[in-house]
Chain A
Amino acid sequence: SQTIHQWPATLVQPVGSPLSLECTVEGTSNPNLYWYRQAAGRGLQLLFYSVGIGQISSEVPQNLSASRPQDRQFILSSKKLLLSDSGFYLCAGKRGASGLETQYFGPGTRLLVL
């Protein structure tokens, strides 16, 4: 099965500073990749997904952007962080486009914006 790596594990950033969170995937090629945000330890919000290099779909308009410079690398960025960007960010990947494939999740990044 796939292994999803994320770093950093935790991050404390001031308001207005830039952000870069990285996700890499092992164990599969050409995965579908996803960024989720989890606020207050409960519901998951899908932010972005990518079906291939350079292909990004945004689910909600916001202060964040995503990029996929390599097949197994997915980056979440911001030019200027807002307080509301605080949360737990999860990267996930699955093999191929079929809905029956399982999404596997990384360990997450805890972001605190002060």
Chain B
Amino acid sequence: AQSVAQPEDQVNVAEGNPLTVKCTYSVSGNPYLFWYVQYPNRGLQFLLKYITGDNLVKGSYGFEAEFNKSQTSFHLKKPSALVSDSALYFCAVSPGGATNKLIFGTGTLLAVQP
């Protein structure tokens, strides 16, 4: 079955430190991979996506993600965390080709302490 795993329910990091939010996937073919962020009582905001090409993708608000095909991972990273980065982060995968649906992970709550 096709799936996305976010193994950490919560990630805690001090402001100014680097952060990583993990995501692994299990889909057939060449997937398209997405990261979204959700602030409390708000809709999801698109951060970045990997389609093809360079494995390091840069997105909004200083975030980047690294696609690793051999490890089937797409971890979200930021060199220096801000308190305002505290939010719920979702990884999602589209299995590729003409498809109508995204498969979402269960979300990781990022808490950045001042």
Chain A residues engaging chain B, CB cutoff 8 angstroms? 4, 6, 32, 41-44, 46, 49, 51, 57, 88, 90, 92, 97-100, 102-108, 110
B98 adjacent to A97 (CB under 8 Å): yes
With A41-B88, A43-B106, A99-B99 as known contacts, state yes or no: A107 contacts B94, CB within 8 Å.
no
A97 adjacent to B104 (CB under 8 Å): no
A99 adjacent to B96 (CB under 8 Å): yes
A90 adjacent to B43 (CB under 8 Å): yes
Give Cα distance in the complex from A108 to B51, angstroms. Answer: 27
Q: Can you name 28 A-B residue pairings with CB atoms under 8 Å?
A: A6-B43, A41-B40, A42-B88, A43-B104, A43-B106, A44-B90, A46-B101, A49-B101, A57-B100, A90-B44, A98-B97, A98-B99, A99-B32, A99-B97, A100-B32, A100-B51, A102-B49, A103-B102, A104-B46, A105-B36, A105-B43, A105-B44, A105-B45, A105-B46, A108-B41, A108-B42, A108-B43, A110-B41
Q: How large is the interface on B (under 10, 10 to 19, 20 to 34, 35 or more residues)?
A: 20 to 34
| Minimum distance in angstroms from B10 CB to a CB of chain A | 11
